[in-house]
Amino acid sequence: MAAPDIAVHSRPDVLAAAAAARLLTRLVDLQAAGTVPKIVLTGGGVGIALLEQIRETVARDAVDWGEVEFYWGDERFLPPGDPERNETQARAALLDHVRIDPAKVFPMGADTGTGPAGAEAAAEAYAELLASKARPEDHGPVPAFDVLMLGMGGEGHTASVFPHSPAVYETERSVVAVHGCPKPPPTRVSLTLPAIRRAAEVWIVTTGEAKAAAVAMALSGAGEVAVPVAGAQGRRRTRWLLDRAAAAKLPRDLVPPIA
């Protein structure tokens, strides 16, 4: 794994706009090379703000959205269309406003009345879907995602892989059900760290002073069991996109000029 790239922006809104521009550029480049980009979306305030920034810029029309595959890194196991679902928020922020191909949008399963037990079946179904989309050259049970975006929590969780949880110890499955999450809702479906590490590029996008300690630990060699985001690394690139507050506790030699 290559050393992480770190970019620090002055404010959350500047970060969201800059990350949106980076993603648009990456999508255009991939499509120019004849690739159908495989993108993994994240939820949370900055993840959704990034999609809203794309929606609002005329540069969005440089992308052929019908030739992009969309996946999710984790999902709240709630009823279809629930406003707290990452899928629902992503559709409202961007996907409902561009010409996507519905056959290339792959949300994680929702609670259709099963309750928490249904998350196990949803995780298995998503793992099977990912396996069906993996090509021989991907050398694994998931596609080699081009860009996999993640947020993180103040205690260092990413996707829905929490510190010292069963999910952080998972080494074989690509997708797991997560029960008893320390923040609501308690039941979720999530990619595992081994699946995340199959991505070509992992982008960790986060803001706020509450994240600063975990950011510093992850970038200073912390173990993934205690700080799961430390284990979120791309095969070719791991990109940390931070605001000034989230970068506040990084060692000086790791902090680039602030944009």
The reported pTM is 0.95
Task: Please report the DSSP string for 68-132 in residue order.
Answer: -EEEESEEE---TT-TTSHHHHHHHHTGGGS---GGGB-PPP--SS--TTHHHHHHHHHHHHHHH
Q: Which domains does the chain have, with CATH numbers?
A: 11-204+226-248 (3.40.50.1360)
Give the tens place of pLDDT for each residue, 111-131: 999 999 999 999 999 999 999
Question: So what's the pLDDT on residue 13?
Answer: 95
Strand partners, 9: 243
Half-sphere exposure of 27 (CA within 13 A, CB side): 23
Give the tens place of pLDDT for each residue, 142-195: 999 999 999 999 999 999 999 999 999 999 999 999 999 988 999 999 999 999
Q: Is-contact 71 109, C-beta < 8 A? A: no
Mean pLDDT rounded to a whole number for the chain: 95
